[in-house]
Amino acid sequence: MKESITVNEMLILKKFSYKMRIIKINGTLISKENYDSTIIHDGDDVQMLYLMSGG
Amino acid sequence: MGIAEIKKHLSKFRIGIAGAGGLGSNCAVALARSGIGTLVIADFDIVEELNLNRQYYFYEQVGMMKTDAIRDNIKHVNPGILVITHQKKLDRTNISEIFAGCNIIIEAFDNAGMKEMLIETVQTKMPGIPLIVGSGMAGWGKTNDLICRKIDETLYVCGDETSEVSDNLPPLAPRVGIVANMEANVTIEILMNIK
C-alpha cells in the first residue's frame, strides 16, 4: 500500500468524476492546476465539496 | 438574550451576499429582519417574471435591476439597515474589493461554475473570512436531506449536495427558501459567537 498519492490519483481511485468541486487538504484549498503536483499523505484531512447548479 | 439585545449585537456586523437571486434575495431579507447592520449585495441581473417562483421580488418589480429591487424590499422590512449594492458581475479580480470589510460572505449564485470561482477566490484572497455556500436544492420534498455541513472554520455548505437543477428538476420556492434561510441562520450563529 502506497503511503501517499496525488490529488488526481485519489480522484481516479475513488471514481470522483463530477467536475465542479472544491478540495481542501488540512484546511488549504487546492486549485485545479495543482491536482497533479499536490501529494496526499496518510493521515491528511481531505475535504471535498461538490457544487450543484441552483439557487 | 432578548430580541433587542440580539439586534443590537447583530447591528455591528457587515455581511456580503454574492448574488441576489433565489438564495441571495431570501437570505438578505432574513438577515435584514434579524437586524444585521450592513448588507453588501452584488448582482448584475434584472428581475424577470420567471424569477417570481422563488425569489423575493414582486410582480411590479419585473424589469428592475435586482440590486435596486432588493434594496427597496429590505427598506420595507427594516429601514434601519445599511444596504450597499454593486451592480456588477463578480469575478476573480473584483470579489475581494467588493466584499472588503465583510465579517462573513454568503455564496448565493445559481451556476455551479460561479460557485466554484467564488469559493476559490474568497478562500485564497480573503483568508480567515467565513464563507457560507449553498449546494443542492433543486426540486421538491426531501426536506430532511437539506443539512448544513461545517467543513472548517471558514467554509460551510447548506443543501443536500446532490440535487442539481435540470429541465425536470427546477428550483422551487420551498427548498431554495429553506437553504437561503439556512445560510442566514449559520451567519447569525457565527456572529452570535463573536463577543
Question: Do A50 and B163 make contact, defined as CB atoms within 8 angstroms?
Answer: no
Residues 6+ apart with CB under 8 A from B47: B55, B57, B61, B62, B63, B64, B65, B66, B69
Q: How confident is the model at residue A17 (pLDDT cuts 50, 70, 90)?
A: confident
Q: Which of A21, A31, A15, A28 is nearest to A52 (CA)?
A: A21
Q: What is the pLDDT of residue A1?
A: 56
B176 touches chain A (CB under 8 A): yes
A35 by Cβ neighbours in 10 Å (0-12 / 13-18 / 19+) ranks as: middle
Per run of 10 residues, the mean pLDDT along chain B (length 195 residues) is: 96 98 98 98 98 98 98 97 98 98 98 97 97 98 98 97 97 98 98 95
Angle between helices B22-34 and B66-77 (to 10 degrees): 30
| Ramachandran quadrant class, B86 (left: phi over 0; alpha: psi -120 to 50; beta: rest) | beta
- Report the length, in residues, of chain A: 55
Q: How confident is the model at residue A18 (pLDDT cuts 50, 70, 90)?
A: confident
Chain A residues in contact with B176 (beta carbon < 8 A): 54-55
Do the bridges between strand B38-42 and strand A28-29 make them parallel or antiparallel, or are there none, so unpaired?
A: unpaired
User: Where along chain B do its domains lie?
Assistant: 3-192
Task: Closest CB to B164: pick one of A22, A29, A53.
Answer: A53
**Architecture field, domain B3-192:** 3-Layer(aba) Sandwich (3.40)
Q: What is the pLDDT of residue B180?
A: 98
Check whether A2 has a pLDDT greater than 80: no
CA B8 to chain A, closest CA, distance in angstroms equals: 30
A17 touches chain B (CB under 8 A): no
Q: What is the pLDDT of residue B140?
A: 98
Q: What is the pLDDT of residue B125?
A: 97
- The ipTM (two decimal places) reads 0.91
Task: Closest CB to B19: pick one of A31, A51, A55.
Answer: A55
Question: Do A22 and B171 make contact, defined as CB atoms within 8 angstroms?
Answer: no
Residue in chain B closest to A48 (alpha carbons) equals B151
